[in-house]
Chain A
Amino acid sequence: MSIQEYWIAFYTIVHKEISRFTRIWAQTLLPPAITMTLYFVIFGNLIGSRIGEMGGFSYMQFIVPGLIMMSVITNSYSNVVSSFYGARFQKSIEELLVSPTPNWIILSGFILGGVARGLTVGLIVTMLSLFFTDLHLHNVWITILVVLMTSILFALGGFINAMFARSFDDISIVPTFILTPLTYLGGVFYSISLLPEFWQGVSMLNPILYMVNTFRYGILGVSDIDVVYALSAVAVFIVSMFTLALTLLNKGKGIRS
């Protein structure tokens, strides 16, 4: 295939993915908007007003970056896992497998689809947060970079989950039992400096902590961890997971008998 043909194939997958989640917006875009608004009202306004400041900012300002990141993580992941597993389940993945589209284009297309949904929801949540607090960007490039990298990483996670899944139940196990607890324990609602030393050490093993804090640094300029170290760690995770996902795709895990 020529470069132009590669581009057409890639664009087709991305276009199809974006059309899918915008077509079913009531299932994909509306629920996170409602959930996050409730978080802002209950945690930010009602409870937050009694907590006072955290890291030198109002509690509402403190949790907004974490909640935006939580939406990006959840939606990037769930878009790819449900779309790719759905394609496997309906066998429509065969449309791609019989075509000359190389596997790295297939993978990149699905990942960009997940990133598109993650960023769309992130933007919606950001706009909603402006009804509750003011947001100032401390470092626009770090903010964009970390949200993009996080989105790519979790879209890759969703892809790998979809390749191993054998039923629709399997695509909800990881988000329910791994992703949600790690996100809640990843410093979305608190600074880890509030934790006893032992639990601070345990928290450092949670990759989501690095992303939430780096994003918070980009917006507020405060972080519990070193930003360069966090970005490097996410980059290593992305390369490792892309390699794993591509290897699984080349072997035909779950898609070729």
Chain B
Amino acid sequence: MTKALSIRGLKKVYGNGFVALKGIDLDVEQGDFFALLGPNGAGKSTTLGIVSSLVNKSEGSVSIFGVDVDKDFSTAKRFLGVVPQEFNFNQFEKVEDIILSQAGYYGIHRAEAKIRAEQFLKELGLWDKRDNAARMLSGGMKRRLMIARALIHKPRLLILDEPTAGVDIELRRSMWEFIKKINREEGTTIILTTHYLEEAESLCRNIAIIDQGEIVKNTSIKALLAQLNTEVFIMDTSEVMVEAPQVESFETTLIDEHSFEVIMQRGQHLNEVFTRLNAIGVNISSMRTKSNRLEELFVELVEHDHKKDGAKDRSNGNASKLKEKVSA
């Protein structure tokens, strides 16, 4: 099946010589909910900028639903909706006018555009604000406005670049419900970048991690989480403890008099922990994971990559020193 997005050998070198992308390959399947993660400056926004024609690429190719953006940009762009990281609308324009203008840029008749604008503004809770200037909206409303604008031409691929940054929890949840609905019901492919890794873990099926302009991991969330070697659980008990309970085969540490943590290695099961705790008379009242599992893997992957680079830099440094000595 044709990929929703296919990137080959994508390279970007900025005018100051900074290499933002080092020739990446990336595929996103149709109907996928895909996460593109990476630390700040890793190349996420550059990649999405090139896909959405906001950044000029240095090398490589980008196809959207099999259409090469260089060969038929008009068709390729029709497939694409973009919600950028920063607000990029005229703050003095009315909410509805922003949506209607965007529809016009896609050649949609005003009558049809008005029907769609009403539908999306209602679904995103902005219909009452349609006559307000965009600058009067709260941060969360501005984000929703950008989502409504991106959907007005009914794109098959929706790019969301950190759409929930600075959005409160309640609003974030309602936004995700909406996005999940269009992914599920309309079959719209979603590409998401976010710094909230729990979001990516709960929403996305596949993931790519980009760091220093290279894809360091590209797999399913399930497969990625299966690589996790250890997981730490915090367990609470109503009894007062002076030391962490000793559980055979598991490492435990006391946190406070009512809670302790258990480190589980890959292959170990929670049932074993409970059986053993039960056997020594410890009753667990509640339990939670210490940190987000994806976050642990993300940090591990990115740090590992940086260490590799550090080693490379150090060896390069040694090589340069050696050269200096030779030339001296």
Asked if A12 and B105 make an inter-chain contact with CB atoms under 8 angstroms apart, the answer reads: yes
Assess whether A123 is interfacial by the CB under 8 Å rule. Answer: no
Assess whether A252 is interfacial by the CB under 8 Å rule. Answer: yes
Known: A5-B107, A8-B109. A94 touches B54 (CB 8 A): yes
CB contacts (< 8 Å) of A98 on chain B: these are 52-54, 77, 80, 82
Assess whether B106 is interfacial by the CB under 8 Å rule. Answer: yes
A1 to B106, CA, bound (A): 8
B105 in complex: contacting residue of A19, A87, A91, A101, CB < 8 Å: A101
Known: A8-B107, A8-B109. A257 touches B77 (CB 8 A): no
Of B88-96, B234-242, B314-322, the segment with at least 4 beta carbons within 8 Å of chain A is: B88-96
B74 in complex: contacting residue of A1, A90, A96, CB < 8 Å: A1
Shortest CB distance B115–A (Å): 15
Known: A99-B77, A100-B74, A257-B14. A11 touches B104 (CB 8 A): yes
Asked if A99 and B106 make an inter-chain contact with CB atoms under 8 angstroms apart, the answer reads: yes
Q: Which residue of B lies closest to A102 (CB)?
A: B74
A95 in complex: contacting residue of B73, B88, B108, CB < 8 Å: B88
Assess whether B56 is interfacial by the CB under 8 Å rule. Answer: yes
A98 to B84, CA, bound (A): 11
A256 to B109, CA, bound (A): 29
Assess whether A4 is interfacial by the CB under 8 Å rule. Answer: yes
A8 to B112, CA, bound (A): 12
Assess whether A166 is interfacial by the CB under 8 Å rule. Answer: no
Asked if A252 and B73 make an inter-chain contact with CB atoms under 8 angstroms apart, the answer reads: no
Assess whether B78 is interfacial by the CB under 8 Å rule. Answer: yes
A102 to B15, CA, bound (A): 25
B90 in complex: contacting residue of A2, A87, A99, CB < 8 Å: A87
Assess whether A92 is interfacial by the CB under 8 Å rule. Answer: yes
Assess whether A155 is interfacial by the CB under 8 Å rule. Answer: no
Asked if B105 and A95 make an inter-chain contact with CB atoms under 8 angstroms apart, the answer reads: yes
Shortest CB distance B22–A (Å): 17
CB contacts (< 8 Å) of B14 on chain A: these are 257
Which of A4, A13, A97 has the most chain B CB within a 10 Å cutoff?
A97
CB contacts (< 8 Å) of A19 on chain B: these are 97
Bits for B99-123, please: 1 = Cβ < 8 Å to A, else 0.
Answer: 0111011111110000000000000
- Interface residue count on the A side (C-beta < 8 Å): 30
CB contacts (< 8 Å) of A101 on chain B: these are 105-106
CB contacts (< 8 Å) of B90 on chain A: these are 86-87, 90, 92
A90 to B91, CA, bound (A): 8
The tally of CB-CB contacts under 8 A between chains A and B is: 86
Assess whether B131 is interfacial by the CB under 8 Å rule. Answer: no
Q: Which residue of B lies closest to A6 (CB)?
A: B107
Assess whether B198 is interfacial by the CB under 8 Å rule. Answer: no
Which of B52, B54, B89, B102 has the most chain A CB within a 10 Å cutoff?
B54
Bits for B42-77, please: 1 = Cβ < 8 Å to A, else 0.
Answer: 000000010011111000000000000000011101
Assess whether B313 is interfacial by the CB under 8 Å rule. Answer: no
CB contacts (< 8 Å) of A1 on chain B: these are 74, 107
Assess whether A138 is interfacial by the CB under 8 Å rule. Answer: no
Asked if B101 and A100 make an inter-chain contact with CB atoms under 8 angstroms apart, the answer reads: no
Assess whether A136 is interfacial by the CB under 8 Å rule. Answer: no
A224 to B30, CA, bound (A): 68
Asked if A12 and B86 make an inter-chain contact with CB atoms under 8 angstroms apart, the answer reads: no
Q: Which residue of B lies closest to A93 (CB)?
A: B88
Assess whether B144 is interfacial by the CB under 8 Å rule. Answer: no
CB contacts (< 8 Å) of A16 on chain B: these are 97, 101
Which of A16, A19, A102 has the most chain B CB within a 10 Å cutoff?
A16
Assess whether A9 is interfacial by the CB under 8 Å rule. Answer: yes
A145 to B98, CA, bound (A): 35
Assess whether B149 is interfacial by the CB under 8 Å rule. Answer: yes
Asked if B55 and A100 make an inter-chain contact with CB atoms under 8 angstroms apart, the answer reads: no
List which A1-27 residues lie within 8 A (CB) of chain B: 1-2, 4-6, 8-9, 11-13, 15-16, 19
Known: A12-B105, A96-B105. A91 touches B77 (CB 8 A): no
Which 3 pairs from chain A and chain B are nearest by CB? A5-B107, A12-B104, A99-B105
Extra inter-chain contacts (4) besides given A13-B105, A95-B102, CB under 8 Å:
A6-B107, A13-B104, A92-B89, A257-B14
**Pairs A–B under 8 Å by Cβ, sample size 30:** A4-B107, A5-B106, A6-B107, A8-B109, A11-B104, A13-B105, A15-B104, A16-B97, A87-B90, A90-B91, A91-B84, A91-B86, A92-B90, A94-B82, A94-B84, A94-B88, A95-B89, A97-B54, A98-B77, A99-B77, A99-B106, A100-B75, A100-B107, A101-B106, A252-B56, A256-B56, A257-B14, A257-B49, A257-B54, A257-B56
